[in-house]
Amino acid sequence: MDTTPAVRLDRVSKEFAGSYAVRDLTLDIAPGEFFSLLGPSGCGKTTSLRMIGGFADPSSGSILLSGEDVTALPPNKRNVNTVFQSYALFDHLSVADNIAFGLRRSGTAKQEIRERVGAMLDLVQLSDLGHRKPRTLSGGQRQRVALARALVNRPAVLLLDEPLAALDLRLRRQMQVELKQIQREVGITFVFVTHDQDEALTMSDRVAVMNGGRVEQCGTPEDVYERPESRFVASFMGTSNLITGVYRDGSVQLEGGPALPVGSRPGISEGGTVNVSIRPEKIWLSDFEPGMPVVNGVIRQTVYSGPTTTYLVELAPGITVAALEQNTARARMEDRWQGGETVEIGWKTEHCLVLG
């Protein structure tokens, strides 16, 4: 089986006016993979995507597509296509003609154009709207047209630059599911740029979390969420309680507060200052397992969010953690804790990450 990466970035950097937007980036993206570049604004994810597409030249390093060095090739010489957030559709052309635009430019036979456009319209569930103009479509439908136009040329790699950012929440979630389904059907490598953690977790086979022009961590969605390797990744991937304390004998001592049980941590120096990360949904507020370590705290705020309730629990002056409970069918409103109540909270030590 050919193991040549669909995309390889080999020590790629991009410098602007003396500062680096991307620094020494090395990544391999497998054929048929849905790969996301995730990070805050200014982290270098879009610049990285533009360099893969040929719209920006790296200051150093190499870019390979299916083993071919394309670093010096212009965009039209690379077997990639790009879907932008703005859709970039031609309003004077019909949906079908928008999709066919690239095929006509390349001199594809008329019959083949009709067949391939029809197949794309079926794929994106717009088979009855080929005659319509883009301005008459919804945002989600226009996004499907842009996707079909990019896929009809059968690129080896499809680049997607925050294509769902302009959609409302309900439609964005719907399109996340549809986009992943389409990617599986066509089998093309997708490289997806987003600042939305939920989006990356929902769709990706692997995620590269970027910060300051570098990849802080790369792995499966479960890896980067459940096992963050840095304080930045722990805080950026969803919600996490981040607490600083001193590690001693299987616990992290808080200044002016309790010792948080974290278990034995080989490699962590006794008496060293560490960061503790624990997700709100990993904290227990009742029905503790036998032997589960617990600490006392005071409820300072209750946040009801429909399916869940979040409790802000003060462990020490200035140190508050969020604990999340599901509002199950058995949960009653009168059973929820109120502000000022003293509670016990606990967790499994394996869910409490200690970051040096």
Tens of pLDDT, residues 73-127? 999 899 999 988 777 889 999 999 999 998 998 888 999 999 999 999 998 889 9
DSSP conformational letter for 240: -
Predicted pLDDT at 290:
87
Cα dist from 248 to 35, 45, 238, 342, 348, whole Å: 40, 39, 28, 26, 18
Residue 334 has pLDDT above 70, yes or no: no
Predicted pLDDT at 329:
59
Condensed to tens digits (0 to 9), the pLDDT of residues 339-356 reads: 889 999 999 988 988 886
CATH classification of the domain holding 157: 3.40.50.300
Instruction: Measure the N-to-C terminal CA separation of the chain; round to a whole number of Å.
Output: 40
Q: Are 275 and 244 in contact (CB under 8 A)?
A: yes
Are 243 and 227 members of one domain? no
* Domain-located, residue 117: yes
Determine what percent of the chain is predicted with pLDDT higher than 70: 97
Where among 231, 258, 273 does a domain terminate? Answer: 231
Predicted pLDDT at 23:
96
Condensed to tens digits (0 to 9), the pLDDT of residues 21-32 reads: 999 999 999 999
Are 279 and 223 members of one domain? no
Where among 183, 212, 231 does a domain terminate? Answer: 231
Are 193 and 316 members of one domain? no
* Domain-located, residue 111: yes
Residue 2 has pLDDT above 80, yes or no: no
Are 124 and 19 members of one domain? yes
Average confidence (pLDDT) over 188-196: 95
Are 261 and 217 members of one domain? no
* Domain-located, residue 60: yes
Chain-wide mean pLDDT for the chain? Answer: 91
What the block records as the tokens of 220 is 């499966």
Q: Is the dihedral of CA 132, 138, 141, 147 positive or negative?
A: positive
Element (H, E) at 216: strand 214-219
Are 315 and 192 members of one domain? no
Condensed to tens digits (0 to 9), the pLDDT of residues 225-238 reads: 999 999 899 989 88
Are 278 and 199 members of one domain? no
Are 255 and 213 members of one domain? no
CATH classification of the domain holding 263: 2.40.50.100
Predicted pLDDT at 330:
58
* Domain-located, residue 48: yes
Q: Are 346 and 283 in contact (CB under 8 A)?
A: yes
Predicted pLDDT at 332:
60
* Domain-located, residue 145: yes
* Domain-located, residue 1: no
pTM for this entry: 0.88
Where among 231, 262, 288 does a domain terminate? Answer: 231
Are 158 and 41 members of one domain? yes
Of 342, 283, 276, 291, which is closest to residue 309 (Cα–Cα)? 283
Are 284 and 200 members of one domain? no
* Domain-located, residue 2: no
Domain membership of residue 272 as a residue range: 239-355
* Domain-located, residue 305: yes
Average confidence (pLDDT) over 234-251: 90
Q: Which of 108-112, 171-175, 194-198, 318-322 is predicted with the least confidence, judged by mean pLDDT?
A: 171-175
Residue 213 has pLDDT above 90, yes or no: yes
How many structural domains does the chain have? 2
Average confidence (pLDDT) over 203-217: 96
26 CB-near residues (< 8 Å, 6+ apart): 9, 10, 11, 12
Are 216 and 244 members of one domain? no
Are 221 and 270 members of one domain? no
User: Half-sphere exposure of 103 toward its Cβ, with a 13 Å CA cutoff?
Assistant: 24
